[in-house]
Amino acid sequence: MNANFLAITLCFFCFTTQSLVAQNNNTDVDVTVFESVLSTAGWANFKYVDQLSQAKQGDYKATLKLLEFSGTVDGKAALDHSVTLLELLLSGGDLPFAAAVNMAKPKLKSVLLDRLQLAQARTQKVELRKPIAEWAPTTWAVLHGEPFAPINYSNMDSSCLNSNPHSGKEKEVKALELSINPTTPSTKEAAKEEQGKGNQ
């Protein structure tokens, strides 16, 4: 009986520790991680916590991997993952997140737009319930098919570099250093191409 109790306690401790590690990597903004998502990530052999940790530091490549992971989850796990992505948008910064969204396929952008809006009702963070366009305008624009056009920072004072109060200059500059994938068209460009093919 004591052995069973010890085993259950140990399993509970390991699970809660893993979730807390993901939530406490960034002291500015916690990002919620759900068991349903970790379970699917384990099944898919996807290092969710590691990718999240990198993405919280403004790594657009890690953010892109998390965005692409959206295609692996469904049902409740998909909504839970979307809450994590929404909170990551605040934690990791608007510009790195927008850079990752820009590199995503048009269908994924459409799914992300829908799921992020659903996630706003599920998050416990009240500040994230405001319209995304207000606190993450670059991401919002890219999700709506606008071209990703990071502004030129060379003429700006360093105090202007933060797109939100929780992201630092390093996160913004990392996103600017990326090479935009010219083979991934924006949603508007893809729609124009499809329309052009239909007219021929």
For 151-190, the pLDDT digits (tens) are 544 443 433 344 444 445 454 445 455 434 434 444 455 4
Minimum mean pLDDT among 10-14, 113-117, 126-130, 146-150: which range?
10-14
The per-residue pLDDT for 16 is 36
The per-residue pLDDT for 157 is 41
C-alpha dihedral sign at 137, 139, 144, 147: positive
* Mean per-residue pLDDT, 3-16: 43
CB contact at 8 A, 31 and 62: no
Question: Tokens 């992020």, residue?
Answer: 116
Minimum mean pLDDT among 37-51, 135-149, 164-178: which range?
164-178
pLDDT at 37 > cutoff 50: yes
Minimum mean pLDDT among 56-65, 66-75, 104-113, 179-188: which range?
179-188
C-alpha span between 95 and 172 (Å, rounded): 6
pLDDT at 8 > cutoff 80: no
pLDDT at 73 > cutoff 60: yes
- Give the other-Cβ count within 10 Å of 48's Cβ: 22
* Mean per-residue pLDDT, 124-137: 96
Angle at 33 between CA 28 and CA 35, to 5 degrees: 160
Mean of the per-residue pLDDT values of the chain: 76
Look at residue 147 and give its three-state secondary structure: coil
Q: Which residues fall within 8 angstroms of residue 148, CB to CB, at 6 or more apart?
A: 98, 99, 101, 102, 138, 142, 180, 186
Q: What is the DSSP letter of 180?
A: P
The per-residue pLDDT for 28 is 55
The per-residue pLDDT for 149 is 79
